[in-house]
Amino acid sequence: MDKRTLILSTIVKSSVLALLLLQGCSRHAEYAAAAAPAHKMYDAAAPAAAPAANAEPESPRGKFLAYEHSLTVDVPEGGVKPLLDKLVAACQADAANQCTLLSSGVQGGRDSSAAIRVRIKRPGVETMISLAAAGGEVASRNTSAEDLEGPIRDNAKRLEMLRSYREKLLALEAKVGNNAEALIKLSQELATAQSELESATGVEARLMERVNMDLLNIAIQSRTQRGFWSPVSHSMSDFASNLSQGIASAITGVAYMLPWVLILFALGFVIRKVWRRARRK
């Protein structure tokens, strides 16, 4: 190995070691750009995170807060599925707020219920809630927020570090020339850096999507059980099944008790016989 190859290999190894050290310290370092606006921090983001850069102006509710809303609606008997269908159709038609249906389901039977979960922009949240409230009575409503400022800033620092490292590797690759061994090592490091860069870019896109889009959970339940005669009618309709269940339980109890009755009878007979013999003596 000539002197030039040895120097190049040493530079590549030093760059790898510096990358590992920076990754270990990035979560504990203080970021000088903490006070900078969010759009300046993410100007260099990849195309996958481009929607975040074009996001609407920040509202007073927080820069990196991910909100989730939960709503429970009581509807009259038979109104569970129609309201669910309205909410699903409204979400699918709301392209302006980029509503995405994540899950929906309905449970039939005596006490029917349904649930729907969507991801939607902030203005569309109130629209969906108003539509749900119009179909019944709001029983509960909750809003929670998760602060993602730490993960977002950590990931932004990691992206900056990876891009800088990739540029350094590309600059070294241009100086290698026809040295096959050095080219192979540089290609391996470039592939690793590019893979980590794509992974970090995907993480950034998901985090910013979580910040810019709200989660909305709507639970729909029937008010059948609130009627005065509903418990009575339910008991009458279940009379036959409850009777058969009671008979089965009684038979099972007798089966468990019968051996003990026989044992106690035999034991009583023996005790009585021994007692009579003792009295005779």
Confidence at residue 84, expressed as pLDDT on a 0 to 100 scale = 93
Confidence at residue 11, expressed as pLDDT on a 0 to 100 scale = 52
Confidence at residue 152, expressed as pLDDT on a 0 to 100 scale = 92
Per-residue pLDDT of the chain (281 residues; tens, 9 = 90+): 444 444 445 554 555 444 444 444 444 343 333 333 333 333 333 333 333 333 443 444 458 899 999 999 999 878 899 999 999 999 999 999 999 999 999 887 667 899 999 999 999 999 999 999 998 889 999 999 999 989 999 999 999 999 998 888 888 887 877 777 888 888 888 899 899 999 999 999 999 999 999 999 999 998 655 556 666 776 777 788 888 888 999 999 989 998 998 899 889 888 988 888 888 87
Confidence at residue 181, expressed as pLDDT on a 0 to 100 scale = 80
The answer to whether 196 and 37 are in contact (CB under 8 A) is no
Confidence at residue 272, expressed as pLDDT on a 0 to 100 scale = 86
Confidence at residue 227, expressed as pLDDT on a 0 to 100 scale = 58
Q: Which long-range contacts (CB under 8 A, 24 or more apart) does 125-131 make?
A: 125/69, 125/214, 125/216, 127/90, 127/94, 127/97, 128/87, 128/90, 128/91, 128/94, 128/99, 128/216, 128/218, 129/69, 129/71, 129/216, 129/218, 131/86, 131/87, 131/90
Q: Which of 127, 135, 85, 136 lies closest to 106 in space, CA to CA?
A: 85
Confidence at residue 234, expressed as pLDDT on a 0 to 100 scale = 66
Handedness of CA 196, 201, 202, 206 (dihedral sign): positive
